[in-house]
Structure 1
Amino acid sequence: MTWFILISLLTIGLILILTEIIFVPGTTIIGVLGLIVSAAGVYYSFLKFDTSTAWIVLGITLFINFVALFYGFKAGVWNKFALKDSIQSRSFDGRLLGLELGMEGKAVSDIKPIGKAEFLDKIYEVKSDSGFISVGSIVFITKLGDNRITVKK
């Protein structure tokens, strides 16, 4: 029964440590709990066995934990859980297509210094580089870039 308890504690500790690394990295609660359970197993071996056997149990425990971690990194087990894709798109891509410098439009709201203007039957958010522009005024595009439209009266 003593060996069963010892092996159970050490196995549960190893499983918790591996769970921390594989499934919930960064939380540290499960990893610390795994270390505590493993330490409890080693402490239990010092209580129930003679000192030389307990040191052997400690050595075997450390060896098995390091081998499991090393093999996990070496074999690429973690790659199955790693995010390999990333989002390459950006918001408002293509928003300025069809617009050109000097293009004429109409302010559909007061532009003070930001407002709305209509170009090519579409309404865009624009910024004035010449101060306040009242609704209904004719505006011209002076700058296009970084998804921004700058206009003047």
Structure 2
Amino acid sequence: MTWFVLISLLLIGLILVATEILFVPGTTLVGIVGLVFTAGGIYYAFLKFEPGDAWLVVVVTLVLNFSALVYGFKSGVWNKFALKEAITSRSFDDRLAGLEVGMDGKALSDIKPIGKAEFGERIYEVKSDAGLVRAGTKIYIHKLENNKIIIKT
């Protein structure tokens, strides 16, 4: 019965540590529980066996856990969870194409401080630096920055 309890504790600890390394890296909870089971098994070994046998259990346990760790790193499991590509696209990249500072337009809606305006044949969302601008007012582009059109009257 003593061997069964010892092997069960150490095996459960090893399985949980291996699970942490191979399947759910980064969660740490599974690994910590695995280390607690392993430590409990080692403590149990020192309670029930002679010191020489208990130290042998410690060495075997450390070798097995270290082997699981090394295997986890060498197997490339981390590559499955690593981002390999960077997202380089941006939204509204060509939204301001054809617009220039000083270009005249017309407010289509009340701009308080954000609203709709027409420049040329297209309708844009704009922001007013001057506060409220009534619909139908002649406006011009004051600034183009960070995909925003800042207008003045």
What TM-score comes out, normalization by structure 1 length? 0.82
Q: Which moved more, 1:34-43 or 1:66-75?
A: 66-75
Tell me: CA distance 1:23–1:91, structure 2 relative to 1, closer, same or farther (3 Å). farther
Amino acid at match of 2:98: G
Q: Distance in 1 between matches of 2:119 and 2:22?
A: 53
Q: Match for residue 47 of structure 2?
A: 47
Q: Distance in 1 between matches of 2:20 and 2:84?
A: 20
Q: Match for residue 125 of structure 2?
A: 125
SS at match of 1:116: strand
Q: Distance in 2 between matches of 1:22 and 1:92?
A: 40
SS at match of 1:99: coil
Q: Distance in 1 between matches of 2:19 and 2:56?
A: 25
Query: 1:81-96 residue pairs with structure 2 within 5 A?
Result: 81-96=81-96
Percent of paired sites with the same residue:
64
Tell me: CA distance 1:139–1:22, structure 2 relative to 1, closer, same or farther (3 Å). farther
- What is the count of residue pairs matched by the alignment? 153
Q: Match for residue 144 of structure 1?
A: 144
Amino acid at match of 1:53: D
Does the CA contact (< 8 Å) of 1:22 and 1:81 recur in 2? no
Q: Distance in 2 between matches of 1:146 and 1:40?
A: 58
Alignment RMSD: 2.3
Amino acid at match of 1:109: S
Tell me: CA distance 1:100–1:152, structure 2 relative to 1, closer, same or farther (3 Å). same
- Residue segments in structure 1 that go unaligned for 5+ positions in a row: none
Q: CA deviation at 1:111?
A: 1.9
- Residue segments in structure 2 that go unaligned for 5+ positions in a row: none
Q: CA deviation at 1:135?
A: 0.6
Query: 1:3-152 residue pairs with structure 2 within 5 A?
Result: 3-152=3-152
1:107-142, CA deviations, whole angstroms, 9 ceiling, x for partnerless residues? 011223332212244332212234432111121212
Runs of 4+, deviation exceeding 4 Å: none
Q: Distance in 1 between matches of 2:18 and 2:118?
A: 59
Q: Distance in 2 between matches of 1:70 and 1:120?
A: 65
Q: CA deviation at 1:35?
A: 0.9
Tell me: CA distance 1:149–1:108, structure 2 relative to 1, closer, same or farther (3 Å). same
